Structure 1
Amino acid sequence: MKKLGGMVGQFIAACIGIVIFGAIPSLFFTVGTEEGPLAMFFKTVKSILYSLVHYDELTIMMRGTEYKLYPLILEGALYSLTLILGALILAYITSILLTIGTMQFPKWLREKMKFLILFLESLPDILVVLVLQLVIIVLYKKTDFLLMKVVTVGDSQALLLPIICLALLPTIQLYRITVHLFEEELFKDYVLLGRAKGLHHTFLLVVHVFRNTAISLFFNLKKTIWFMLSTLVVVELLFGIFGITYYLTTYMAPEVFTFILLFLFVPIFVFYHIVKMIIERTIKGGEQSHD
């Protein structure tokens, strides 16, 4: 119950923060009005809160025609959330598999790989996306075989390549963190005891070390998700995707902007905490069964 209360408190605080963030620009746009910055700010907050309650009244202009934001935004939001979820799962699984493989190498080679990871992590996301698109196009020209769609056109949506592009840099980040966590665990007593009992190195990594680092790694996903959102803007732009970032960067009215931010935040928040609860219960159950 205490954890649930803390989660609800975090959710409310985050929503309040988003509303305030959406209203902040009004502090700087008071030219031509009789109201001061603070009065304009609170007026905007009131307008945002009203719009969130009466979200079905929010409208946007698109190609000279007025549309209701909801349910128009649903398709774009689902597309963007699919990309984020797919990229997150891909990055998480790939980073763990790479780490387990890396831990089979001698220490000197792992140090070399860490240096390479630092270099790859510094690459700009726009460069990574453009290079991958170029590789797919070159392969298509050489072999007449389109490995993956490189752009969204009409109803033909690119999905796999955007997910890979979105997952690349987060995979590198999580891989670096996972290697560090695994190396710390290898010096703990339970690993040394397992080695003394003759347990295989890979078995120790997969069954014991991974279980004890899973929570720490998952907590790092929070930072990775926010990093992904900045990359998502680039990915959707370069792939011609009319996802949620299109609405975020095109329609800047405080009420619309705040609604879209919350529309993106809420499912990510809920998904994160549900998975967190599942992992915690799974690990506790595993520890009890081992006891």
Structure 2
Amino acid sequence: MFRGRWESSIMSSFVSVLFKFLLGFIGIMLISCTPVLLTINDTFDFSKYFNTFVGLLKDLADPSNWHLSNFNSSTFEKREISFLKYFKGPYLYSLSVLIISILLSFFTALILAFITMLSNRKIKKNVLQITKILESFPDFSYVFLIQMVVVQVYITTGYRILSFYSLGGNLVYVAPIVCLSVIPTLLFFKLFLLLYKEELNQPYVELAKSKGLTKVEILIWHCSPNALKSAFFQSKSIIWLTLSSLVIIEYLFGMKGILYYLRADFSPTGLTFILFSVFAPFFIFYSFVEVLVDKGNIERNVIFEKFNLPFLHKQQLRSLLKISNIRNSLSSIFMNRSSNRFKRWDIILPLLIVLGLLSISFLYTILFHDQIDQINYIYNEDGKLISRAPHPPSKNVFFGTDPYGYSILQQLLVGMKYTILLTLIIATIGVVAGYLLAIVYVFYMNNKSRKVINAIADGMHFLPLTLLVFILLNPVLINSTGVWSTTLTERLVVQILIMSIIVLPVTTSSIGNEMNETLKKEYVQNSVIMGGSLTWVIWKHINPQLWTKLVLFWTQHIVQVLQMFVHLGILSIFVGGAAYYADTPYRLKPDISEISGMIAISRDVFVTKQFWMIIPPLFVFMLLIYCFNLIADGISKKSIAKGM
């Protein structure tokens, strides 16, 4: 009997995994055809999209079409590369760098977290502060920091400790692995610290102490197994970020890996195969381990099949509309009933810095109408040429200029408002839409529908977010003709919608699970049983418990969007779009000046060592990320203090 139940459970798990796998593959095919739907001259031509999807199915069914197209720079011709050759070469190259980086990050973070937990409180505080600062650096900045160190060592000793660029058949490993592992190490480190702290507060720890076990023994034999299991289930979001970072590391190091061949072959067949090759190994690994550890008994599940609540009762509506009730509800949602609610400088100060940067940018627009000077040549008092673009920082140009002579300081002053406002809009739309869809997810969907949403959200964690956004925005924001058939407003709206919608499955699932936790509480269930309407339950019970976490989701999403802007800028996807110059076919001209667009020259700076061009926009991004990380940490502490 036991064996039969075990076999039945295994079969059920296999069917569930197979369903999610097929759903992920279909999603990849749909995404791979989407660039056709967003092409400027055929925007939202659904008949063309359908025909492209049918053509993709035919190509996948015909093995003779299983190849990628690659441009040969020596002969200026396209050549075909079989999927097998791609798999043996570029794919394994990228995957080996990625896996080694993740393993290095995981074990380094585990060891550092273990040592930190054994340290005194002052050391812990200093380590966490350093972690916050390091986490504010965009991932690509570590390429420049490490390169500076290597160059300085070479100048001092004459010895080059690392190779930084992949040329010809030379494959670089150490530098990409080191650069790629920094951010995941910081994230895993913070995760392990949190998990160890939670485990040390469990009752079994007190029992272990009473038996005379030391802290080292408790951490190794009791806390670590539970922390490792929890870390595995929470590591998907870290893998998600690392996959996006891999795309940028490949580009900066000139690695002929996944991104190189995706940019070379932008066909639906090529996109499908490359995205699927990234998705499949991680999905299979996580699914296999989840079956082994019986994830179904660990993760949070919805406790009701489907709610049948009336949307609103008239009597409850009158109660909700009473001024006193509105005031009390807003007070419970927006502020703590505490004497020090206005003394949270860890939240207020970074918020003031962000608002200050935004105000300075708007003030420059009002006073100088977004003027950006172009200085091609600088002469001394005798009329002698002393500098030509790009100019380094001097009394003539405070932050220097870019390669085309445009003032970097003025570009920053113009671009800050676009970066900050668009980031806030995208993050707000993502969280608000996720919240509204979470209500549908919890109250109007049955378990089967919820499983589909969760399957899509799980699958999203194994696809590089930057790569997906790049695929979708490339046909919208890059113009090879020099003449736009769409307005700037239309392109901005499409960009905002794409960057907001792409994360909706994950956001909806996360917020929905938080709602489920509130609905499991006894007083909420009693309210449902006693006839509480949907609006009543949401307003009186869910929102007061959920508000702080929604703000936390919002600040975390802001940081994610800022990182995404940096990645897109490196890949020459500019906010509002860019067109190729007629006289310089390899140079893109952004439609508006925005900070992430200044990051586009990062690869050139990587080679020329003209770091003054990249440091100012990098510093602004770091400052913004650091401020929103501080806000998120402040909100997290606030939630813990309230016992949420």
Task: Give the TM-score normalised by the residue count of structure 2.
Answer: 0.41
Q: Quick one: which of 169, 173, 176 aligns to 1:162?
A: 176
Does the C-alpha gap of structure 1 residues 244 and 197 become closer, same or farther in structure 2, counting only changes over 3 Å? same
Is 1:104–2:118 an aligned residue pair? yes
CA drift of 1:95 comes to 0.9
Is 1:86–2:120 an aligned residue pair? no
CA drift of 1:182 comes to 0.6
Task: Report the Cα distance in structure 1 between the residues aligned to 2:260 and 2:42, rounded to whole angstroms.
Answer: 30
Does the C-alpha gap of structure 1 residues 131 and 98 become closer, same or farther in structure 2, counting only changes over 3 Å? same
Does the C-alpha gap of structure 1 residues 55 and 111 become closer, same or farther in structure 2, counting only changes over 3 Å? farther
Is 1:38–2:46 an aligned residue pair? yes
- SS of aligned partner of 2:79: strand
Task: Report the Cα distance in structure 2 between the residues aligned to 1:116 and 1:280, rounded to whole angstroms.
Answer: 37
CA drift of 1:93 comes to 0.5
User: 1:196-228: CA deviations, max 9, x gaps?
Assistant: 111121121122111011121012221111211
Q: Quick one: which of 226, 237, 258 aligns to 2:251?
A: 237
- Identify the residue that residue 499 of structure 2 maps to in structure 1: none
Mean alpha-carbon deviation: is it higher for 96-105 or for 243-252? Answer: 243-252
User: 1:136-169: CA deviations, max 9, x gaps?
Assistant: 2322332233323222222321112211111110
Is 1:62–2:76 an aligned residue pair? no
Task: Report the Cα distance in structure 1 between the residues aligned to 2:275 and 2:149, rounded to whole angstroms.
Answer: 34
Task: Report the Cα distance in structure 2 between the residues aligned to 1:3 and 1:107, rounded to whole angstroms.
Answer: 45
Mean alpha-carbon deviation: is it higher for 44-53 or for 16-25? Answer: 44-53
Does the C-alpha gap of structure 1 residues 32 and 270 become closer, same or farther in structure 2, counting only changes over 3 Å? closer
Could you say what the CA RMSD is over the residues aligned between the two structures, in angstroms? 2.2
Counterpart amino acid of residue 166 in structure 2: T
Q: Quick one: which of 216, 219, 228 aligns to 1:205?
A: 219
Is the CA contact 1:218–1:276 (under 8 Å) kept in the aligned structure 2? no
Is 1:19–2:33 an aligned residue pair? no
CA drift of 1:48 comes to 1.9
Counterpart amino acid of residue 84 in structure 1: L
Task: Report the Cα distance in structure 1 between the residues aligned to 2:282 and 2:211, rounded to whole angstroms.
Answer: 43
Counterpart amino acid of residue 69 in structure 2: I
Does the C-alpha gap of structure 1 residues 141 and 30 become closer, same or farther in structure 2, counting only changes over 3 Å? closer
CA drift of 1:55 comes to 4.8
Does the C-alpha gap of structure 1 residues 168 and 146 become closer, same or farther in structure 2, counting only changes over 3 Å? same
- SS of aligned partner of 1:118: helix
CA drift of 1:114 comes to 2.1
- Identify the residue that residue 287 of structure 1 maps to in structure 2: none
User: 1:61-100: CA deviations, max 9, x gaps?
Assistant: 4221321342342211000100111011011101110100
Does the C-alpha gap of structure 1 residues 55 and 77 become closer, same or farther in structure 2, counting only changes over 3 Å? farther
Does the C-alpha gap of structure 1 residues 54 and 140 become closer, same or farther in structure 2, counting only changes over 3 Å? farther
- SS of aligned partner of 1:177: helix
- SS of aligned partner of 1:252: coil
Does the C-alpha gap of structure 1 residues 190 and 32 become closer, same or farther in structure 2, counting only changes over 3 Å? closer
Task: Give the TM-score normalised by the residue count of structure 1.
Answer: 0.88
Task: Report the Cα distance in structure 2 between the residues aligned to 1:32 and 1:278, rounded to whole angstroms.
Answer: 48
Where does structure 1 lack aligned partners over 5 or more consecutive residues?
282-291
Task: Report the Cα distance in structure 2 between the residues aligned to 1:56 and 1:62, rounded to whole angstroms.
Answer: 20
Does the C-alpha gap of structure 1 residues 32 and 163 become closer, same or farther in structure 2, counting only changes over 3 Å? closer
Is the CA contact 2:90–2:257 (under 8 Å) kept in the aligned structure 1? yes
User: Once the two structures are aligned, what percentage of the paired residues are identical?
Assistant: 29
CA drift of 1:52 comes to 2.5
- Identify the residue that residue 55 of structure 2 maps to in structure 1: 47
Task: Report the Cα distance in structure 2 between the residues aligned to 1:276 and 1:148, rounded to whole angstroms.
Answer: 38
Where does structure 2 lack aligned partners over 5 or more consecutive residues?
1-10, 296-644
Is the CA contact 2:13–2:291 (under 8 Å) kept in the aligned structure 1? no
Task: Report the Cα distance in structure 1 between the residues aligned to 2:64 and 2:128, rounded to whole angstroms.
Answer: 51
Does the C-alpha gap of structure 1 residues 155 and 25 become closer, same or farther in structure 2, counting only changes over 3 Å? closer
- SS of aligned partner of 1:125: coil
Is the CA contact 1:59–1:69 (under 8 Å) kept in the aligned structure 2? yes
- Identify the residue that residue 19 of structure 2 maps to in structure 1: 9
- Identify the residue that residue 285 of structure 1 maps to in structure 2: none
Give runs of aligned pairs for residues 181-196 of structure 1, distance below 5 A: 181-196=195-210
Counterpart amino acid of residue 196 in structure 1: S
Counterpart amino acid of residue 13 in structure 2: K
- Identify the residue that residue 517 of structure 2 maps to in structure 1: none
- SS of aligned partner of 1:60: strand
CA drift of 1:252 comes to 1.6
CA drift of 1:181 comes to 0.8
Number of equivalenced pairs: 279
Is the CA contact 2:104–2:181 (under 8 Å) kept in the aligned structure 1? yes
Is the CA contact 1:56–1:68 (under 8 Å) kept in the aligned structure 2? no
Does the C-alpha gap of structure 1 residues 275 and 51 become closer, same or farther in structure 2, counting only changes over 3 Å? same
- Identify the residue that residue 232 of structure 2 maps to in structure 1: 218
CA drift of 1:109 comes to 3.3
Task: Report the Cα distance in structure 2 between the residues aligned to 1:2 and 1:44, rounded to whole angstroms.
Answer: 35
- Identify the residue that residue 134 of structure 1 maps to in structure 2: 148
Does the C-alpha gap of structure 1 residues 121 and 235 become closer, same or farther in structure 2, counting only changes over 3 Å? same
Q: Which has the higher contact order (CA 8 A, sep 6+)?
A: 1
Relative to its length, the structure with more helix (as a share) is 1
CA drift of 1:170 comes to 0.6
Structure label with greater radius of gyration: 2
- SS of aligned partner of 2:168: coil
